[in-house]
Chain A
């Protein structure tokens, strides 16, 4: 069977499975639509949370970025897992005890103010929409390869499918579907990694393979990679940081607290039966996430190795000279996977020195020594552009794995993108229909009207995200990192202080959320354009790129969160303390006894 047919078959079969499950578990009531009636056991909930969590950014984009960044890419790994420790200890059990089903509801009740809840809706919408833009970029990449079309057409197709999918199910449908999606995506991620690890190192466990020697050689994979990428003018793989150490520190911090502040993840902990289950759900979620996250660095390093091995075969497996005349392969003899990806426009070759061979190296290297060597070798610039977002999807093709593995990875990438997009759309639709329309504008709206409003909100979000996804502010994982920064700087501090400080009042919380959100967006938009629209950036105004101590916009959420905490603290000091009954509410949230199932009533 040829590759394309196999891909259609595997992707089609997994889709049929998800739709089947969604129909079987179809939601009847509003409460079921949003939180699955609170009856999902911790292990399953952990698995669904993992699928919800691991998006196109984790599955498709992250390893590709790590592959380019090397050691510095570890900030994604630590940031996106470390946040679960915070979530498990600081938020999940208390929010579960609180017993409402959206984040703005918590903010509104705890800070005894509809305005506070509206501010939370605003923060939630900005964070979730940015997140979906990143998803759409990823969906576009996956569909473009899968259907053999350009990435723009891929995004249009993806928009349609995400919409049908999210509108159909509701949370209960989504929870069980996500369990199935987790299984598909984790198999799709680990199976090729196992094959590749075995091919390169003889050790089938990728986590160990990455620390092993290359087959038939006495040198470890990582030191070989270090040596070769340095020879090609890139930074040393195991030590190159993401910008400065300070930037890596703040970036990691931002992703961690953003993880704990993202509404679609927090929402998951409302769906467990008890407070104790909320604690262990976070642990199980992290176990299932870590299976992918500890494999990702192996995928990253091995994909880089295999890419270089494809282009300059002798350099990795024997000790051929990188700069040798015949080291690089001729363009005409390039493998089929390159031809397939050229069609999507995400892989490009341009023969700059006219020798008919592919030179792949870092032509922006600042090393004089390297520049001299490149010139002597007759290189006239890097000739191969590989979009970082294709690395994972192309990985099994690069390693020449069997067709069914390639098809499985395509299905896995789509599962990852769809499950997260659906979860985010749920959070958006709940925020708009439940917290904004029902909570503020039309309290006596019927249950049917509420569901309809939610679905319209979903449709609008998909259109906006799809439009912006066509001109994304960065790679999928980078865009998603922006969303985390926004959640980190606005929602996390307000929720945390709502639990850990009895005296934090509504004025403090609202001022904190707004100022955190504002400074973060101001800095991000300066780099990426107002509302991510190309050409509206205003870097001059803030004094050039990364002008705040060299911190990148993706990392700025950590700074925004600090601003949030400080402003909230100061405003709280000069305004009235919260009423007695709110302080009692906080006390009761802190102890597990008496937790009831969520009912959604105000």
Chain B
């Protein structure tokens, strides 16, 4: 792989890592591991940990995919590997 190819792949992996950390934190973190603790707080009638497991994580997932799509498009153009 040439130099810019390597840098492109590094940039891609960096973005993926960042997104996967958030992905993990909202679902496995807030929705499962820390849910009992978060349940001490409330969001309207929702205990917060319950809310993450039954609602919140899903909203964040959607945002993550569109964020990924946008950032990935930027990286493609930066390294000039986007589709014509």
What separation, in Å, do the CA atoms of A280 and B83 have in the docked complex?
A: 15
A252 within 8 Å of B by Cβ?
Answer: yes
Check B45 against A239 for contact (C-beta < 8 Å).
no
The interface on chain A, measured as residues whose beta carbon lies within 8 A of the other chain's beta carbons, has a size of 54
Check A82 against B27 for contact (C-beta < 8 Å).
yes
Check A84 against B44 for contact (C-beta < 8 Å).
no
A590 within 8 Å of B by Cβ?
Answer: yes
Check A593 against B72 for contact (C-beta < 8 Å).
no
Closest chain A residue, CB of each to CB of B43 = A211
Check B53 against A279 for contact (C-beta < 8 Å).
no
Check A276 against B69 for contact (C-beta < 8 Å).
yes
Chain A: minimal CB distance from B18 (Å):
11
Check A207 against B36 for contact (C-beta < 8 Å).
no
Check A591 against B62 for contact (C-beta < 8 Å).
no
Residues of A close to B81: CB separation below 8 A: 591-593
On whether A276 and B83 interact (CB within 8 A), knowing A220-B45, A238-B47, the answer reads yes
Check A74 against B72 for contact (C-beta < 8 Å).
no
Check B83 against A275 for contact (C-beta < 8 Å).
yes
Check B65 against A286 for contact (C-beta < 8 Å).
yes
Chain B: minimal CB distance from A259 (Å):
11
Check A222 against B33 for contact (C-beta < 8 Å).
no
| Residue among B39, B73, B76, B82 making CB contact with A238, cutoff 8 Å | B39
On whether A74 and B54 interact (CB within 8 A), knowing A84-B65, A249-B32, A592-B81, the answer reads yes
On whether A77 and B58 interact (CB within 8 A), knowing A222-B50, A279-B72, A591-B5, the answer reads yes
What separation, in Å, do the CA atoms of A259 and B25 have in the docked complex?
A: 19
Chain A: minimal CB distance from B23 (Å):
5
Residues of B close to A529: CB separation below 8 A: none
What separation, in Å, do the CA atoms of A161 and B22 have in the docked complex?
A: 43
Check A85 against B64 for contact (C-beta < 8 Å).
yes
Check B68 against A88 for contact (C-beta < 8 Å).
yes
On whether A590 and B12 interact (CB within 8 A), knowing A85-B23, A89-B19, the answer reads yes
What separation, in Å, do the CA atoms of A432 and B16 have in the docked complex?
A: 34
Within 8 A of A (CB), among B63-84: 64-66, 68-69, 72-73, 76, 81-84
Check B66 against A283 for contact (C-beta < 8 Å).
yes
The interface on chain B, measured as residues whose beta carbon lies within 8 A of the other chain's beta carbons, has a size of 44
Interface string of A81-93 (1 = CB under 8 A from B): 1101110111001
On whether A280 and B32 interact (CB within 8 A), knowing A78-B53, A211-B51, A220-B45, the answer reads no
Interface string of A55-92 (1 = CB under 8 A from B): 00000000000100001011101100110111011100
What separation, in Å, do the CA atoms of A210 and B42 have in the docked complex?
A: 13
Check B44 against A276 for contact (C-beta < 8 Å).
no
Check B61 against A207 for contact (C-beta < 8 Å).
no
Check A274 against B61 for contact (C-beta < 8 Å).
no
Closest chain B residue, CB of each to CB of A285 = B65
What separation, in Å, do the CA atoms of A589 and B79 have in the docked complex?
A: 15
Q: Which of A131-139, A183-191, A289-297, A346-354 contacts B (4 or more CB under 8 A)?
A: A289-297
A458 within 8 Å of B by Cβ?
Answer: no
Residues of B close to A293: CB separation below 8 A: 58
18 A–B pairs (Cβ distance < 8 Å), ordered by A: A66-B54, A74-B50, A77-B57, A77-B58, A82-B57, A85-B20, A88-B69, A89-B65, A210-B46, A211-B45, A238-B50, A239-B39, A252-B27, A252-B31, A290-B58, A290-B61, A592-B82, A595-B83
Q: Which residues of A contact B (CB under 8 A)?
A: 66, 71, 73-75, 77-78, 81-82, 84-86, 88-90, 93, 207-208, 210-213, 220-223, 238-239, 245, 248-249, 252-253, 256, 274-276, 279-280, 282-283, 286-287, 290, 293-294, 297, 587, 590-595
Q: Which residues of B contact A (CB under 8 A)?
A: 1, 5, 8-9, 12, 16, 19-20, 23, 27-28, 31-33, 35-36, 39, 43-47, 50-51, 53-55, 57-59, 61-62, 64-66, 68-69, 72-73, 76, 81-84
- Which 5 pairs of residues, A with B, have the shortest CB-CB distance? A220-B45, A74-B53, A211-B44, A283-B65, A297-B54
